[in-house]
Structure 1
Amino acid sequence: MHSSDKPKVLIVDDEPDQVELLCLQLEDDYLPIPANSGKEALDIVKDLNPDLILLDPMLPGVDGFEVCRRIKNDPASRFIPVIIISGFFEKSNKIKAVEYGADDFINKPIDRFELKTRIRSLVRLKKNYEALQESENRYKQFFNNSPAVTLLVEPGRGLIVDANDPACSYYGYTREELTAKRIFEINLMSGEKAGDLQQLISREKKGHFYSSHKLASGEIRDVEVYTNLINVKGKELLFTNVYDITASKQTEKDLVESEEKFKNLVEMAIDGIFVETDRGEILDCNNSACRMFGYTKEEMVGLTIADLVPEDFAKTLPERITAEETTGDVAVERVNKKKDGTIFPTEISTKLFKLGGEERLIAYVRDITEHKKSEEALKASEENFRALFEHTPDGILILDFEGNILSANAAVGEMVDAPLDNVIGSNIYNYLVPESGATDLEDQINVYNDRGGYLRTYKILSSNGETVWIEGLGTRIMYRNMPANIVVVRDVTVRKQAEKTLIDAKMAAEEANRTKSEFLANMSHELRTPLNSVIGFSDLIAEGTAGPLTEKQSRYIGFISVSGKNLLRIINDILDLSKAESGKMELDREEFCVGKSVDKVISTMLPQTKEKNIMLSHKPGTQALTVYADPSKFEQIMYNLLSNATKFTPEGGSINVFSEKDGEMVRVVVRDTGIGISEENLNKIFNPFIQIDSSMKRSFEGTGLGLSLVKKFVEMHGGNIRVQSKLGEGTAFTFELPASPSSGM
């Protein structure tokens, strides 16, 4: 574009550098005309009739507001758009600018794209005025071809008289739909505010305001509106340009939210944060800084960094601050002083930044008192470890994952009878006896790597040819920045020899026990055959099959039968115990009713309890209670417990049986009011062939097998049994068996 064709923009500012900057920003699209005073500007307006005026209100002599007023009061120049440019627009100045006729105002610093947009809009607006005056057709052409959203509105009733294509596109209506609406259907401004604005436009013949417009879709958009009162065919209409500023408003909102988030982050930070001048004066700080140093924020602001360090440290503070600034984000250590005089260590990182055009320093301060304590504790720990490492009688090795010995203490050298220098650097596999398996250790190390930790015993060969048993306990560590294993080894040769002796003795005892069980089983079997004949024939004789018996003969035969049956029961108990101990006893489990089984056993015990006038009762928790067990073994358990209770309960006593379900188990309690058991004898009662003292052997019959069998049977079912008793207060046996196949197995 030739310079003579460019719109003329008069730039009025008393600062030459500002004028020059604006000239450079506009010279591509406009013909800038500089002026440095109000008088000079008024003269240029008369001579050159510029297309737009950029006006600084702070001018010597005639100020910018007066210049604007004179231009707008002059019919020859009243339509020249005036943009007030200022670095400090207060609300009163904006109102004054509007009152004096300014078309727009922009804050410094100026965004050149916004400036060009505003200039372009106002220059176009001026051209529109000129075109409207020249020809209505030319006005129509401009109106319809304008890229800006433009409306013609009747001031009084708010009728939309016309709308250009961009307006129709923007609002989402056809021209017919849009011109059938009132501006109040689109503009969401309150009625009171709209009335005030209408009065201002009526008085000033123009207006500039911000509002929200509703589109056909229902979407609400933020807009900036420029409107001027024009005459079309003798009718005053509002020529209105609408600019969508939703994005910029959102940007402003995001900026505010971002600043608020930043402020919150600063306040919530654990570290103390300071903003300082280049002289070390504190301008601001967060709450953590106040808590750290013991000051309120009001006390802190205005202090200098020198106030927060010890006096001797303050002498070299300037040099230290300079050094800290050069480190950037790298933290340095410093000592600081609290309000109460407490000295404490800190870690500080600093960064320079611009704030309001001035250099500021932001400092992040962390109290490292606990960190220092941890360092000291770590140092002490390392010293303790070194002392332990060097002086412990156990060997300590550090191995890599291939078994190479990275480090070892003197005890290791003594174990293998080799110089420590020769041990370190060698491989642990070199010392293992082949029969213990080097690959076995490798497997153990791999297990450790996968699962964490191993404990294993190995045989090693010392340099003098002696075999040494060692036990190694290993775990993973980081050694010189690489993963490794630390293994504590101990000479367990003596223990292994003792273990071998113990194992041999155990095997001998187990063999003897097996021999005993087999002997008892064979002997019991041999005894049962003649005993069956004794019992059988004595019963036949008692029934009179061999002829009538005298009273004495009948009594003697009864003694033979009872003694034979007692002996058979003892033999059966011995056989059962032998089978249980040898693992040959099998259980035939099924679900059955606990109450019926208990009542069945009780019925067999009634003659004995009636003979001693003992009250025997059963209180089931529920009639439907079932247990998963071998019915015959369950009845044998109950018989032995009830028989034992009857034997040790004096005449007139009582025996109570209680059963209930507890989770997945069935609990049965047999409680008597018998003589009780002393505390020191409670742990003996389940041992076979044992009665608790010799006096009982004389006073009460029995072999001592019953309770031992009870315990075996209960445990074979996956249950447990316990006893509670006090001398003279009776005894309670409690056993638990699985309630179903899925429980307690």
Structure 2
Amino acid sequence: MAESTGLYQLLVDSVQDYAIFALDAAGYVLSWNAGAQRLKGYTRDEIVGRHFSTFYTPEDLATGKPAWELEVAERDGRVEDEGWRVRNDGTLFWANVVITALFDESDTLVGFAKVTRDLTQRRRTEESLRVSEERFRLLVHSVKDYAIFMLDPDGRVSSWNEGAQRIKQYTPGEIIGRHFSTFYTAEDLAAGKPAWELETAIRDGRVEDEGWRIRKDGTRFWANVVITAVRNGRGELMGFAKVTRDLTERREAEALAMESARRIAEAEAANRTKSEFLAAMSHELRTPLNAIGGYAELMAMGLGGTVTGEQQGYLEKIQRSQRHLLQIISDLLNFSRIEAGQIEYEVAPVPLQASIHSVRAMLLPQAGEKRIGLVLGPCPAGLCALADAVKMEQIILNLCSNAVKFTPEGGRVEVSCETRGDRVAVMVSDTGVGIPPDQADRIFEPFVQLGRGLTTQHEGTGLGLAISRDLARAMGGDLTVSSEPGAGATFTLTLPAAE
């Protein structure tokens, strides 16, 4: 028996991870093992004979906790507690304490056995986890752009964040405990979609879906939904995590983009059809018009017989109308090609002075008929534009022709050029009626001719300026106008300067 008792005492004294010691009936330390010395920092000589309340914090001492624990242990046989305890050096550690009352054969209390474990590290881990979980909970709860909530295994809502309230309009008190099928449309409910989604999530771990969902007020929104099955460490289903995003605006934007793309495709197809039609019509119309012009010219030459003065006048009108129709067809075809992006540009340095001389030579007969002076203004020799020569001359010819057309008899049209930084400019000025300020932009619109009426004699399609500005901009330049009513107008063609 003595040998067994000695072995038991050796066992207790050798334990390093637990403080195991005895107290007398009043709570004074009677024994002290190696684990007690390691945990609490006292040697046997320092602590034996001192009251065990030495290990308690001032707060516990103030509430009488040591005496209360001994009373409970004596009454119930044992007491267990967790809390802060104090080491010899004054530092705190989190302890699990079990105090067991010891009675002799006559049930008289003879003392207490006290076992203490240091759970500081475990508490830190648990506290860290608790703080982490609290942060995560606060994070989830405060998210406003996503509805994030939990479902129990049957699909009933068990948590609700701010995003869910904003998107679905239910407060936590209104929705927690209700089945998540509340959010589904009548069509989805009839198809059994909510149950199918939970079954899929259980089988595959998660399910993702997009579709219409219902808010509290009955309105619909387009939702992206992810439902994830949540299981514990044993693989048992604990419920589901559900994340919902409101994609209504994105869906509407995509629908608008698709509609826009469809309209663009339709417009491009219409442009192609129009271009093909105009090309075909121009060919079909040019042939008889050229024939009309040719036969009228033969008749005017007298090859079919003598032509009277009156008949000569009629032939001139026929020829003028034929030329006018050919110009209309040419303008329509050019405008259509520009709109369809079918015009090619051969850009190279083009001498401005030579181009202006060439245009002037072509317009001298037209200007002479109205006794209009077609004047060459200042234009430095060697000044070149970086442009397509044919298209640049087409623009200048159109501007000069318009100026002659809209300038009264005896007036003046001047063409000049100059350098403007990295640009060159060609100016066509006239002494015509001018352009009202509120009409300055409209004259560049297709089919617009200012002053056209039943009594006017100005012919044309109203496409010349529209075509000219499109050509100028396609070559990196622009076409603008400045004018005062009654004081004429100045059209300015700007183009990149050639080095």
- For the residue of structure 1 that corresponds to 2:307, the secondary structure is coil
Paired residues of 1:418 and 1:463 also in contact (CA < 8 A): no
Residues of 2 paired with 1:563 and 1:723: CA distance? Answer: 30
2:345 corresponding residue in structure 1 = 587
Question: Which has the greater radius of gyration?
Answer: 1
- For the residue of structure 2 that corresponds to 1:566, the secondary structure is helix
How far the C-alpha of 1:650 sits from its partner, in A, is 1.6
In the TM superposition, what are the counterparts of 1:318-329 in structure 2 within 5 Å?
A: none
In the TM superposition, what are the counterparts of 1:203-602 in structure 2 within 5 Å?
A: 395=145, 410-411=162-163, 414-415=166-167, 461=210, 464=213, 468=222, 491-602=249-360
Paired residues of 1:597 and 1:635 also in contact (CA < 8 A): yes
Paired residues of 1:601 and 1:638 also in contact (CA < 8 A): yes
Residues of 2 paired with 1:648 and 1:460: CA distance? Answer: 68
More off after superposition, 640-649 vs 506-515: 506-515
How far the C-alpha of 1:674 sits from its partner, in A, is 1.4
Listed as ranges, the gaps of 5+ residues in structure 1 are: 1-388, 398-407, 421-458, 471-486
2:372 corresponding residue in structure 1 = 614
2:442 corresponding residue in structure 1 = 684
How far the C-alpha of 1:720 sits from its partner, in A, is 1.3
How far the C-alpha of 1:644 sits from its partner, in A, is 1.1
Residue identity matched to 2:222:
V
Cα–Cα, structure 1 residues 548 and 695, in superposed 2: closer, same or farther, change >3 Å?
A: closer
How far the C-alpha of 1:515 sits from its partner, in A, is 2.3
| 2:417 aligned with 1:659 | yes
Residues of 2 paired with 1:469 and 1:555: CA distance? Answer: 78
How far the C-alpha of 1:700 sits from its partner, in A, is 2.4
- For the residue of structure 1 that corresponds to 2:441, the secondary structure is helix
Paired residues of 1:521 and 1:578 also in contact (CA < 8 A): no
Residues of 2 paired with 1:494 and 1:588: CA distance? Answer: 44
Residue identity matched to 2:210:
L
Residue identity matched to 1:642:
C
Deviations 1:289-318 (A, max 9, x none): xxxxxxxxxxxxxxxxxxxxxxxxxxxxxx
1:447 corresponding residue in structure 2 = none
Paired residues of 2:408 and 2:432 also in contact (CA < 8 A): yes
Deviations 1:43-83 (A, max 9, x none): xxxxxxxxxxxxxxxxxxxxxxxxxxxxxxxxxxxxxxxxx
Residues of 2 paired with 1:666 and 1:592: CA distance? Answer: 11
| 2:478 aligned with 1:720 | yes
Of the three residues 606, 616, 626, the one matched with 2:384 is: 626
| 2:458 aligned with 1:700 | yes
In the TM superposition, what are the counterparts of 1:2-81 in structure 2 within 5 Å?
A: none
- For the residue of structure 2 that corresponds to 1:491, the secondary structure is helix
Residue identity matched to 2:293:
I
Cα–Cα, structure 1 residues 463 and 635, in superposed 2: closer, same or farther, change >3 Å?
A: closer
Name the TM-score, length of structure 1 as normaliser: 0.35
Cα–Cα, structure 1 residues 417 and 565, in superposed 2: closer, same or farther, change >3 Å?
A: same
How far the C-alpha of 1:603 sits from its partner, in A, is 1.7
Residues of 1 paired with 2:162 and 2:272: CA distance? Answer: 49
Residues of 2 paired with 1:655 and 1:595: CA distance? Answer: 16
Deviations 1:85-111 (A, max 9, x none): xxxxxxxxxxxxxxxxxxxxxxxxxxx
Paired residues of 2:349 and 2:387 also in contact (CA < 8 A): yes
Residues of 2 paired with 1:412 and 1:618: CA distance? Answer: 77
Paired residues of 1:614 and 1:651 also in contact (CA < 8 A): yes
Residues of 2 paired with 1:469 and 1:649: CA distance? Answer: 67
Cα–Cα, structure 1 residues 414 and 684, in superposed 2: closer, same or farther, change >3 Å?
A: same
How far the C-alpha of 1:409 sits from its partner, in A, is 8.0
Two-structure CA RMSD over aligned residues (Å): 3.8
How far the C-alpha of 1:637 sits from its partner, in A, is 0.6
- For the residue of structure 2 that corresponds to 1:698, the secondary structure is coil
- The structure showing larger relative contact order (alpha-carbon pairs under 8 Å, at least 6 residues apart) is 2
How far the C-alpha of 1:729 sits from its partner, in A, is 2.4
Aligned length: 290
Residues of 2 paired with 1:591 and 1:656: CA distance? Answer: 23
How far the C-alpha of 1:500 sits from its partner, in A, is 4.1
Paired residues of 2:436 and 2:485 also in contact (CA < 8 A): yes
1:647 corresponding residue in structure 2 = 405
Paired residues of 1:620 and 1:658 also in contact (CA < 8 A): yes
How far the C-alpha of 1:528 sits from its partner, in A, is 0.5
Cα–Cα, structure 1 residues 611 and 412, in superposed 2: closer, same or farther, change >3 Å?
A: farther
Cα–Cα, structure 1 residues 467 and 510, in superposed 2: closer, same or farther, change >3 Å?
A: farther
Of the three residues 714, 721, 735, the one matched with 2:493 is: 735
How far the C-alpha of 1:498 sits from its partner, in A, is 4.5
Paired residues of 1:521 and 1:574 also in contact (CA < 8 A): no
Residues of 2 paired with 1:549 and 1:463: CA distance? Answer: 84
How far the C-alpha of 1:489 sits from its partner, in A, is 8.6
Residues of 1 paired with 2:400 and 2:491: CA distance? Answer: 10
Paired residues of 2:352 and 2:384 also in contact (CA < 8 A): yes
- For the residue of structure 2 that corresponds to 1:638, the secondary structure is helix
How far the C-alpha of 1:723 sits from its partner, in A, is 1.6
Paired residues of 1:395 and 1:409 also in contact (CA < 8 A): no
How far the C-alpha of 1:583 sits from its partner, in A, is 1.7
- For the residue of structure 2 that corresponds to 1:524, the secondary structure is helix
